[in-house]
Structure formats: C-alpha cells, structure tokens
Amino acid sequence: MTRRSEVTGALRVNSEIYPERPPGFVLHEHGADSVLHCDDVPLTKLAERYGTPLYVYSATTIHERLAAFEKAFRNVPHTICYSVKANSNVSILRLLARQGCGFDVVSGGELERLLAAGHRRARKIVFSGVGKSRDEMTAALKAGILLFNVESESELLALAECAARLRKVARVAVRVNPDVAADTHPYISTGLHKHKFGVPIGSARTLYAKASGMQYLKVAGVSVHIGSQITDVAPFAEAVARVADFVRELRVDGHKVDYVDTGGGLGIAYQKPGLEFAEYVASYARAVTNPLRGLNVHLLLEPGRSIVGPAGVLVTSVLYRKENDGKRFLVVDAAMNDLIRPALYNAYHEIVPVVQSKDLSAKRETVDVVGPVCESGDFFARDRELPRVEEGALLAILDAGAYGMVLASNYNTRPRPAEVLVTRKSVKVIRRREKIRELYSAEL
C-alpha cells in the first residue's frame, strides 16, 4: 500500500513532503519500510538483478504523458513529433511510434535510429538542427521525411543541391528567430539573436523568396524554437504570436504555408511540484494555439523532456560514506559520465533512498552525493539534506529519463549503465550494460 499524505499528489517520507512521481514511481509499504517501485516492480529487485548504476523507465508514464499532449491539442490539426535527442533508446522510440507519434531529429544518426526501430512512416519526421551535412540531407530525402527546418541560406542552397541531384522535392520551413527571451539556463536558450540558431525573423522573407524559386524545394511552413526547460508558457505565446504575423506576411507574398512548427522546450518540475500535468499541458496548448486561430495551419510540436523526463530514474549504490573535517560525502557508483546534467548545468535532481524508513524520527543529514570520477565536478547534489543511509544502500536520482543516458560517456573508461523498461509487472532490458573490453576494442 502506498502511503499518501493529506497533501494531494504527494508522499510523506520521514515527515518531509516529496512530489509524487507521476504515475510510474511510487512508494509501497514493505514491512517496517517503504520501497520505491517503478510501476509494479520494486527498484530493489531491479538493482539486484541488473546491477547499478541502472536507468529504469516507466512505460506507463510515457504513455500517459503523451496522451495528455494529444488531449490538450485535440481540437486543432497537429502532429506530436517527439524530440529524439531527449532519449533516443530504440525501444522507447518503438513505444512512441506504436502510439502514432511523429519525431523530430537533429542528426542523421537519430534518423537511422528511427529506421532501425522500424519506423517507416517517415512522413511524420521533421529534421531540425543548425549544421545538417549533405550526407544527412541526402539520407533524409531518400527516406521521404515530412519537413526540413532550415536555419541558414547556405543550408538552403545545400539542400537544394541534394534534392536536385536526387530529383526529389524537399519540403522546407525556415526556422525563424523571434528574439524572445526565455527563463532557462543560457546553454539551452535558443530564441535570441545572439544564439546560433535560426534566421532573424526580419530577414527570413528573403530566404523564402529564394526557396520558392528553386525547382526541388517546396515552401511548406514556418518553424520556431526558443529553448529548453521553459516552465512559463508566456514566452511560447509571445514567440508564436510573432510567427503568426509572419505567416500572414508570407501568404501576402504568395507562399503556401501549411505547417507551423512551434518546437519543444516545455519544462518539468525537477524540484518543486507544479500543476497537475494535464492542466499544465492544457495551459501550454492555449498559449500556442490562440495566436494561430484563423490561420488554418497544421501544428507540429516537438516535446521531449516533458514526456520522458519524469519517466526515468537512475538507481545507484552507495559505495562509501566519507567525512572531511565535518563535510559529509556519499560516494556512489554512478558518476558524471552516467548523468552529466548536475555537472554541466548545475541542474537539480531529487534524490531519495529506494528503501525508506517509516520512522518519522529517523536521522537526517546534510551530504554531498558524489561519484568516483576524478573531477571535483563529479557530483549529483551538494549540501543536500537526506535521510541517513549506510554503505550498500540504494539511491534513486529522479527525473532522469531525459538528457541522461543520451549524454552519457565512457570517461575514465567507465562502461555506460544498462537500461530497463518497465510496463506494469513486465521488465525488459532495452540496453545491456557495456563491457570494459568493448570500450577499447575499436582502438586495436
């Protein structure tokens, strides 16, 4: 039985309120303790069977969050094009494809992953990114993707060259830069003129005029993307309003604009519980769709983190407890090479013991949770108050389903973790743990 507090949607653990992990990660009572589960499977069982560090994903959460998007946008023509860069595991791509999802790719490698996953409906794939190579463009043209989001005049000319060589028509949208600021980390803000992305909205009309004069290019839409991990919907509304005005200008110029790609970037609550997810997505939908009323366009959306972020955790074991002149450390077997977000962005991830005592008087302590990599930046939390855990205990680093494994590396010749996908009581290994010899075999 899951113990819930009087606060709706939260769990009480050692007298502290934790945001509930919707809906895949919940606590269930086991004797004197409570154990964190993914769907119906205890994380203790998964760690025992598959080892740590271990990425665990809830298929239930992915399904329900995708369904929330579909419901929020049900009254307008739209396609959800999941952002593959958030989590590109082939099994997760298959899961989303079975639900009718389209995809947003930013490399030829991501396109090939989709083809390997058996996703043959390439007409639901959009290709974004500021540096597409001719080889990548050629592969996408051969696959017959829906749309290229073009980001410069040079790219447009290169695409025209590739399309002419193959005698295939490329549908294009120019990614316009609306110069809209978003409250997010500067590394993942993309909507200002100082960023490398997009074409200034004031000069994009010239690019559309050039595209319309090229035999194998077809103007089909307008694209915009202002950044990632944005939790205030107001910047989305402002950006789309500017795009809507631009669409009207393009139509006056004689262009046929069928699609508006509003990008992705909707954030999640890593630290503080926010609105219930369906309500949150509904507010986002209103912000995006209201400026487009009357334009009769097909909306393309590129959510990634908001679908898979809360669907994953990284389970890690405590190797050692350590104290330096009163400073306490928990040294765990996961490291920055497994989840780099805290080191790269100083990002916050909730960390909880997998096995939690029901004793409300249980000790708590302030610790740094750190990994074994030889960098002072190898940490998951600093000065974090946690229930006291002993060596050998399991910790769950929450909301690790997006930009976790996709950013993992083999730094310090460390094998990357295994990944498992849980569907209620069913568990599937979707990536086996690497072996050390595999990491240097290509060098011999």
Query: For 92-112, what is the mean pLDDT?
Result: 96
Q: What is the pLDDT of residues 171-183, one digit of tens each?
A: 999 999 887 655 4
Looking at this protein, which amino acid is placed at residue 182?
A: A
More confident residue, 239 or 170: 170
More confident residue, 113 or 202: 113
pLDDT value for 119: 60
What structural domains does the chain harbor? 10-58+310-443 (2.40.37.10), 59-307 (3.20.20.10)
Q: What is the pLDDT of residues 362-417, one digit of tens each?
A: 799 999 999 999 999 999 999 999 999 999 999 999 999 999 999 999 999 999 99
Non-local (6+) Cβ contacts of 186 within 8 A are none
pLDDT confidence bin for 269, thresholds 50/70/90? confident
Q: HEC profile for 123-191?
A: HHEEECCCCCCHHHHHHHHHHCCCEEEECCHHHHHHHHHHHHHHCCCEEEEEEEECCCCCCCCHHHECC
Q: What is the pLDDT of residues 313-346, one digit of tens each?
A: 999 999 999 999 999 999 999 999 999 999 998 9
Measured distance CA(114)–CA(125) in Å, rounded: 9
Cβ density class 404-424: b for 16+ within 10 Å, e for less = bbeebeeeeebbbbbbbbbbe
| Cα Rg of the chain (Å, integer) | 23
The verdict on pTM exceeding 0.85 is yes
Structure tokens at 113: 């992953």
Residue 104 phi/psi, 5-degree rounding, is -110, 125
| Nearest residue to 27 (alpha-carbon basis) of 40, 8, 46, 15 | 40
Measured distance CA(130)–CA(221) in Å, rounded: 17
Q: Strand pairing of 41-42 and 54-58?
A: unpaired
Query: For 413-441, what is the mean pLDDT?
Result: 97
pLDDT confidence bin for 120, thresholds 50/70/90? low
Measured distance CA(9)–CA(5) in Å, rounded: 8
pLDDT value for 417: 98
The single residue of 38, 101, 162, 374 carrying the catalytic annotation is: 374
pLDDT value for 26: 87
81 among known catalytic residues: no
End-to-end Cα spacing for the chain: 54
